[in-house]
Amino acid sequence: MKNHSDTLPALHECLIAFYTSWHDVDWNQWIAKAELSLDIIVYYWDKWTESHFEELSRFLSKPKTKIRFFFANESDPALLKSIHRLFPDHTTDKI
């Protein structure tokens, strides 16, 4: 695996906010504030996209916008176990 520490900014330089629960985030506000791109790390996809479909559609209607989605590696049992800890009501198959 390549080390990108020489090309990527330090976390404190690019982190805007941190929340301990996705329920605490005002997603519509953050999506509306985005100008050209969104990077979204996805652990649980269906409900979140349904809940924010209109705001995501408005964002993508702006010129030259893009969204990058990052998904967990579903073949990594250790990662799925860690994600399951965040979503204990769901099976690892659902995650």
The answer as to whether 9 is a domain residue is no
Position 30 scores a pLDDT of: 87
pLDDT digits (tens, 9 = 90+) for 17-59: 777 777 788 888 889 988 898 888 777 667 788 888 999 999 9
Tokens describing residue 87: 């979503």
Q: What domain range is 28 assigned to?
A: 22-86
The answer as to whether 11 is a domain residue is no
Position 4 scores a pLDDT of: 45
The answer as to whether 14 is a domain residue is no
CA distance 70 to 59: 18
The answer as to whether 7 is a domain residue is no
Tokens describing residue 63: 């010129």
CA distance 40 to 70: 6
Q: Is the confidence at residue 95, as pLDDT, over 70?
A: no
More confident residue, 3 or 44: 44
